[in-house]
Chain A
Amino acid sequence: MHWQPCADFESNTMTIQTDKNSSYAEPGIGGMVADWSADKQNFDLPWGKLMMWIFLLSDTFIFSIFLTGYMNVRLSQTDNWPNASEVFALEIAGVHLPLILIAIMTFVLITSSGTMAMAVNYAYSRDKRKTVILMALTALLGASFVGMQVFEWSKLISEGVRPWGNPFGAAQFGSTFFMITGFHGLHVSAGVIYLAVIARRVGRGYYEDKGYAIVEITGLYWHFVDLVWVFIFAFFYLW
């Protein structure tokens, strides 16, 4: 049995839709296509930039959920939480420095954010050479950040820190540490590859006709990685 709109309904809709030029005048699949492709732009941005913002918003939720999960297990565990200041301390030239590697990693990432911001400026000035140099420098700083993270992970693993336990205290320390910093490190690694690909294309003049919004979009991703680190640094390492 087919569903049939009654005569009243039919005439009713006809009286509402007086504007025949509106996409609403067209029924069915054609109408849906007309609706979705209608001239209704909300955001005056390059589409790629808007999509990057939407992606970063979703990524914000992922990292927020990780950090909230960390807060939850830290509040509800009954063991002693390891003192991050001492766990991440290093002896440099015989001097005992708490948290020093993390501080250096923070400075490296902030510096890479600064070089990225400058790359965006030079890209819009169509200075390809400076853009490529600054993007390559950003990628290099990002790669060194990942390198220091590898060092940090190996050191902790050799000291017996595991996702299911560690010699310093609460077992949840290891699981949250590897999950949060691992996911962030993955983002940095992906960002280094992303930067390298875009820098190479900029150098080859791929964006001469398209415009250089892509560098700003890449920059958004990179600054976001730095932004996430600010929260991880505060909540995981300093708290």
Chain B
Amino acid sequence: MSETAGQQHPIGIYLKIWALLFVLSLFSYLVDFFHVQGYLRWSLILIFMFLKAGFIVAIFMHVAWERLSLKYVLFVPLSAIVVLIALMAIEGDYTFLTREIFFDP
């Protein structure tokens, strides 16, 4: 197998992403530490989560440098998961509303 197919990038970029992930993790920890509540809490958690996940996938897993054909293989199937989450959120709320506890005399 030729080495040209491999992904080799400067160490510097890994160290920068590493530091960035540290800072983002610290921020998400601080959200809990300072008891941020409500919509602000959930949106901050999600923003930091997606930023961290994005940097890991793009830089550490090298997806940013991969060809579009591979990106499609990886990301198009995830739309099925989005549908599942939406359906199960509706289902969870519905099940909650049908709990017997709400119908006790």
Contact = CB atoms under 8 A, between A and B. Distances in A.
A26 to B, nearest CB: 28
A17 interface: no
Contact of B18 (A46, A103, A110, A230): A110
B52 A230 contact: yes
Contacts of B67: 43-44
B5 A64 contact: no
A227 B58 CA distance: 11
B86 to A, nearest CB: 10
Given A85-B32, A107-B25, A46 B46 contact: no
Interface residues of A, number: 58
A83 to B, nearest CB: 10
A40 interface: no
Given A57-B77, A120-B7, A239-B42, A234 B89 contact: no
A226 B3 CA distance: 26
Interface stretch (A72-80, A179-187, A196-204): A72-80
Given A75-B92, A211-B2, A121 B9 contact: yes
11 contacts: A68-B88, A106-B25, A113-B56, A120-B8, A124-B7, A210-B1, A211-B1, A216-B7, A230-B52, A231-B53, A234-B45
B56 A230 contact: yes
B52 to A, nearest CB: 5
A65 interface: yes
A120 B15 CA distance: 13
Interface of A: 42-46, 50, 53-54, 57, 60-61, 64-65, 68-69, 71-78, 85, 98-99, 103, 106-107, 110-111, 113-114, 116-118, 120-121, 124-125, 210-213, 216, 219-220, 223-224, 226-227, 230-231, 233-234, 237-239
Contact of A230 (B5, B53, B81): B53
A120 B28 CA distance: 28
A161 B91 CA distance: 27
A64 to B, nearest CB: 4
A78 B81 contact: no
B88 A53 contact: no
Contact of A234 (B2, B18, B28, B77): B28
B53 to A, nearest CB: 5
Point out which of A73, A74, A216 has the most chain B C-beta atoms below 10 A from its C-beta: A216
A53 B29 contact: no
B22 A234 contact: no
A238 B15 CA distance: 26
Contacts of A61: 77, 80-81
B24 to A, nearest CB: 9
A238 B28 contact: yes
Contacts of B57: 223, 227
Nearest to B20: A110
B64 interface: no
List of 9 A-B pairs having minimum Cβ-Cβ separation, nearest first:
A75-B92, A114-B18, A76-B95, A234-B49, A124-B8, A117-B14, A72-B92, A211-B1, A64-B81
